[in-house]
Structure 1
Amino acid sequence: MTTTPSSLSLSLCNCYSYLQRCFLFVPVFIYLISFPLYAEDLEEKSAELDSVRHQIEDVKTSMEKARLETDALQTELKKNETSAGNITLNIREIERQIQQRNERLNQLNDRKSVRERALVKQKQALSQQIRSAYMVGKNDYMKLLLNQEDPARVGRALAYYDYHNQARAQQINSVNTEIETITQLENTIKRENDALFKLKKNQLAKEREISQSRRERENILAKLLNELEKQGLELQALQQQEQETKNLLEKLTEEQARDDRGSVAFFEDIPPFNSLKGKLDWPIKGKILTRYGSRKQGGKLKWQGVVINAELGVDVQAVSGGQVVFADWFRNLGLLIIIDHGDGYMSLYGYNQSLLKKTGDWVLPGEIISLAGDSGGQLRSGVYFEIRNNGSPVNPARWCRN
């Protein structure tokens, strides 16, 4: 069979038309083949999304649980450190009483020594009088009465004997009085010694109590630091403390602005705080561990005050006169005192072991207000010190003497 060009062309056209019709069904065919794959991928992505959502919920639940646990530990730390501060004050008071008792005991022993020396002299004088009377003779008095000599001479002699008798009687009374006084002093000294023994015994008990409290604090602090580190909440805790401090100072500033009665009279004898720049004494002597403006842990926050190294229990002094507007435990700053110096200036003293002043007290420059410590969960003892002007922190190094 011979193929003509026209028949070949027709054949090719028919083939092309057939192929076109076939290609129309290719997408449908591909879709039908791939539909199960798309469905499987959709289900997988949906499952992944659900898993992520569950993970987010788990993280939220975990973070909330961690927050509650850290809050509970902070509350426990506050209770422990506040109690320890009170125990320290009790020990301090006991030591003061022991010192007073010792001083009184020394005074009583000195008085007893003086009385004993006086008693020796009284006994010596009485012995001398008795010997003199013996030398004169016990019958002289009767002889004088029976003698018929000059009545005036007899009267003088009788007066002489009466004088010596009265003198002896007085000496005997003096000796008895000294003996009674010494006996009373000895009884008083015994009572003082008993009281001193009880005070020292109480002091030892309080010292054991504070040691136990310190051990409990270490356990609480270890749990707290572990929880913060585990959840990565260190930065969050620092940010929270900074915000809470700011809120507290704003509140105190507003309260002082509303109630400024009595401050004018108090500040009349004290130079204005803004005139004391570069003239203030530091609240405590010691090495500055962290400086104003230096980076905190993580590098995102800066120190708004300074930390001064100090041993536990060292006296902390007010840098200037003013009124205590806050004296309580505060998160991360521990036992905290804030003093309002007028004209918008305040000073803050944190990390204290014990507070010696309460809210509302007036203090003078250099007056002892607290004892240095490590409250607020600090790992070493010292004092955190800030100066603020209208709520904003300023560099304490520019206000205190170098």
Structure 2
Amino acid sequence: MTVLIRHALLLCICLVAGINSTHALQQEELDNLRKHISVLQKELEKTTESQSEAADELRESERTISNSKRKLAELSSQHRAADHTLEKLRQQGQQIERDMQSQQAMLSKLLYQQYLGGKQEYFKLLLNNHDPDQTAREMRYYEYIARSRSTWLNMLRVNLAQLNEVVQLTQQKSGEIAALQAEENAQQKILEKDKLARQQVINQFAQQLKQQRHEIGRLQRDENRLSQLVAKLSKMLTQKKGKGVFNNDKLPDNRFDGKPFEQLKGKLTLPVMGEVVNKFGSARPDSTVLWRGLLLRAANGQPVKSVAAGRVVFADWLRGFGNLLIIDHGKGYMSLYGNNETLYKQVGDILRGGDTVAAVGNSGGNEDSGVYFELRHRGEPLDPIKWIAR
């Protein structure tokens, strides 16, 4: 038996060590991924044009707005969770108080009965010439009363201790909520300041931004830059692993999670409820540069959903596409979401289909709010229309 116990303990230790080792490897892989992508981003920035161009003036302000809104969303989520916990604690405290009132009432009845009878009842039962069986039954009855009193007293003590603990936790959680509220207010002020700074940049460079939107050479450079980014990401991930009318009243969900991405052709849903304003492969307005994806016009701040399960491999500002998020779906398939106001997810985050990944915006110097959506396979753009359920 001792040998079996020893083997069981060794097995448990090995399992725990294996879990810790797996977690460490996953964290190391994530850190390496973020490091490589950070290097890639710096390389792209070094090879771009002069930093004095209008779009580059927007970069820091739009990055900051995205970070501020992501932080605000995280604080709001923590606030909601804390409120939920506080409400549960209050309900628990109320239930304990009700239980204590019931226990106190029962205990009062028992004490009152004992007061009326007192200890002399035991002697009366013994001295009276009653039937011995009846006397035994009545003695047992008094014993039950004494046990009940002890039980109710113990329950009352336990509940009192629980109530004190709940009161302390409630006070602690209330303090946490107050701190979160203060931090939310501070973050909101920072966000308003960031938005004002961005608007000042837009006002300052309004004419220049307008010209750049239709400048063929710039549009082509933006497209080339995105293609280079996707190609390098695909190569990096491959090496790592080697080692019409559409139903716009729905948003992506997780019903296809677990299926290979190539099997989802004709089944996907657009990442945001909006109007498709262009055709894949057609020329952009007043230029010969072709659309490699879909521009979905939508209200500012609307949630942008991941079209399928995957992992975030890029979440940063890119010239011409603003706050851009790229999701790797495996086997060389990627989805791209550009011009967002806020990026809620970061590099390395694992996603399910339908997860909110961003918020609609017009970052990157666009006039209208919306999302630029692309699908790519091994770096080559795919027509999203053919992948969307009609």
> TM-score, normalising length from structure 1?
0.69
Cα-to-partner distance string for 1:240-263 (whole Å, 9 max, x where unaligned) = 21221232233334334433338x
Aligned residues: 329
User: Cα distance, 1:336 vs. partner?
Assistant: 1.3
Give the partner amino acid of 1:339: I
Q: Give the conservation status (yes or no) of the 8 Å contact 1:292–1:305.
A: yes
Q: Secondary structure at the match of 2:323?
A: strand
Q: Give the conservation status (yes or no) of the 8 Å contact 1:295–1:301.
A: yes
Corresponding residue for residue 260 of structure 1: 241
The separation in 2 between residues aligned to 1:358 and 1:272, in whole angstroms, is: 21
Report the CA distance shift for 1:168/1:392 in structure 2 as closer, same or farther (over 3 A).
closer
Q: Give the conservation status (yes or no) of the 8 Å contact 2:257–2:353.
A: no
The separation in 1 between residues aligned to 2:351 and 2:294, in whole angstroms, is: 22
User: Cα distance, 1:100 vs. partner?
Assistant: 1.4
Bigger drift between 316-325 and 87-96 goes to 316-325
* 1:400 maps onto 2:381 in alignment: no
1:104 pairs with 68, 85, 88, which one?
A: 85
Cα-to-partner distance string for 1:115-167 (whole Å, 9 max, x where unaligned) = 1221121111112112212322575567789x6989x8999987765654454
Q: Give the conservation status (yes or no) of the 8 Å contact 1:119–1:175.
A: yes
Corresponding residue for residue 332 of structure 1: 320
Q: Secondary structure at the match of 1:251?
A: helix
* 1:123 maps onto 2:100 in alignment: no
The separation in 2 between residues aligned to 1:363 and 1:309, in whole angstroms, is: 24
Corresponding residue for residue 260 of structure 2: 271
Q: Secondary structure at the match of 1:260?
A: helix
User: Cα distance, 1:396 vs. partner?
Assistant: 1.5
Bigger drift between 306-315 and 222-231 goes to 222-231
Identity %: 30
Corresponding residue for residue 95 of structure 1: 76
1:292-331 equivalence runs, <5 A:
292-331=280-319
Corresponding residue for residue 62 of structure 1: none
Q: Give the conservation status (yes or no) of the 8 Å contact 1:241–1:332.
A: yes
Structure number with the bigger relative contact order (C-alpha 8 A, sep ≥ 6) is 2
Corresponding residue for residue 4 of structure 2: none
Bigger drift between 196-205 and 162-171 goes to 162-171
Give the partner amino acid of 2:294: V
Corresponding residue for residue 223 of structure 2: 242
Cα-to-partner distance string for 1:27-65 (whole Å, 9 max, x where unaligned) = xxxxxxxxxxxxxxxxxxxxxxxxxxxxxxxxxxxxxxx
Report the CA distance shift for 1:343/1:96 in structure 2 as closer, same or farther (over 3 A).
closer
- What do you get for the CA RMSD once the two structures are aligned? 3.5
Corresponding residue for residue 370 of structure 1: 358
User: Cα distance, 1:377 vs. partner?
Assistant: 2.5
* 1:206 maps onto 2:187 in alignment: yes
The separation in 2 between residues aligned to 1:370 and 1:98, in whole angstroms, is: 20
Q: Give the conservation status (yes or no) of the 8 Å contact 2:332–2:378.
A: yes
User: Cα distance, 1:217 vs. partner?
Assistant: 0.9
The separation in 2 between residues aligned to 1:130 and 1:269, in whole angstroms, is: 65
The separation in 2 between residues aligned to 1:140 and 1:346, in whole angstroms, is: 86
User: Cα distance, 1:331 vs. partner?
Assistant: 0.5
Report the CA distance shift for 1:103/1:348 in structure 2 as closer, same or farther (over 3 A).
same
User: Cα distance, 1:385 vs. partner?
Assistant: 0.4
Corresponding residue for residue 81 of structure 1: 62
Corresponding residue for residue 179 of structure 1: 160
Corresponding residue for residue 69 of structure 1: 52
Report the CA distance shift for 1:234/1:366 in structure 2 as closer, same or farther (over 3 A).
same
1:228-239 equivalence runs, <5 A:
228=209, 234-239=215-220
- Structure 2, unmatched stretches of 5+, are 1-48, 244-255
Q: Secondary structure at the match of 1:291?
A: coil
User: Cα distance, 1:80 vs. partner?
Assistant: 1.8
Give the partner amino acid of 1:69: S
Cα-to-partner distance string for 1:343-399 (whole Å, 9 max, x where unaligned) = 554321111233344445554443443333322233333211012344343322122
2:370 pairs with 382, 390, 402, which one?
A: 382
User: Cα distance, 1:168 vs. partner?
Assistant: 3.0
The separation in 2 between residues aligned to 1:81 and 1:163, in whole angstroms, is: 75
> TM-score, normalising length from structure 2?
0.71
The separation in 2 between residues aligned to 1:276 and 1:258, in whole angstroms, is: 25
Report the CA distance shift for 1:308/1:162 in structure 2 as closer, same or farther (over 3 A).
same
The separation in 2 between residues aligned to 1:231 and 1:175, in whole angstroms, is: 76
The separation in 1 between residues aligned to 2:67 and 2:213, in whole angstroms, is: 33
Report the CA distance shift for 1:229/1:354 in structure 2 as closer, same or farther (over 3 A).
closer
Give the partner amino acid of 1:372: V
The separation in 1 between residues aligned to 2:70 and 2:371, in whole angstroms, is: 18
Report the CA distance shift for 1:364/1:98 in structure 2 as closer, same or farther (over 3 A).
closer
Q: Compare CA radii of gyration and give the structure with the larger one.
A: 1
Q: Give the conservation status (yes or no) of the 8 Å contact 1:278–1:401.
A: yes
Q: Give the conservation status (yes or no) of the 8 Å contact 1:270–1:321.
A: no
Cα-to-partner distance string for 1:216-238 (whole Å, 9 max, x where unaligned) = 11111222333345899844432
Report the CA distance shift for 1:272/1:74 in structure 2 as closer, same or farther (over 3 A).
closer
User: Cα distance, 1:333 vs. partner?
Assistant: 0.6
Q: Give the conservation status (yes or no) of the 8 Å contact 1:253–1:390.
A: yes
